[in-house]
Amino acid sequence: MNYQMWTLRNGALRVEKYTGTFSKKDIMENDQEFFGDPPPPNERLLCISDLSQAKFPDISTADMADLFSAIDENADTTYQMKNAIYAGVSNFADYQTINEYLSEGTKRAMSIIAFTKLKDCCSWLGLTPEETTQVNELLLGNSTK
């Protein structure tokens, strides 16, 4: 398992990449890193989470509420957060887990949607063309997808 995170827009935009197999504990530890550096005040937190190469075989429906504990603990930061999940087109094995995560996320004051194309994530978040290029380079290693 490998987790990477980049901060853009002075911390108001977070870009995450998950690669490999993740447990509930792994995700909760990653969330501590994610919230370790709060975004600028009065900025809506935007996030792209690349799950296209991630697997979650041991995460159950019962685990979903626990996965949001860091979000709940940082409610002042996550209020009206927009999280675009880049699921890719080949991650169907974990589609149900991702869908349950989305369902749990909508119970909070945040917007969370899964996309199969990274460009749609960037568009939904309202990223500039320059930011979209940067996100593509970080996550895909190129600026054309």
The pLDDT assigned to 50 comes to: 96
Asked if residue 27 lies in contact with residue 20, where contact means CB atoms within 8 angstroms, the answer is no
Alpha-helical runs (H) found in 3-128 = 24-34, 64-67, 69-73, 75-78, 95-106, 118-125
d(CA 1, CA 20): 4
Is residue 34 predicted with pLDDT exceeding 80? yes
Cβ neighbors of 105 (< 8 A, separation 6 or more) are 68, 71, 83, 112
| Rounded average pLDDT over 12-31 | 92
- Whole-number percent of the chain with pLDDT over 90: 43
Q: Considering the entire predicted model, what is its pTM?
A: 0.86
Give the pLDDT band (50/70/90) at residue 143: low
- At 49-58, the pLDDT tens digits run 999 999 888 8
Give the pLDDT band (50/70/90) at residue 8: very high
- At 83-98, the pLDDT tens digits run 999 988 776 667 777 8
| Rounded average pLDDT over 5-26 | 93
The pLDDT assigned to 145 comes to: 43
Q: Which domains does the chain have, with CATH numbers?
A: 2-140 (3.30.750.24)
d(CA 85, CA 88): 9
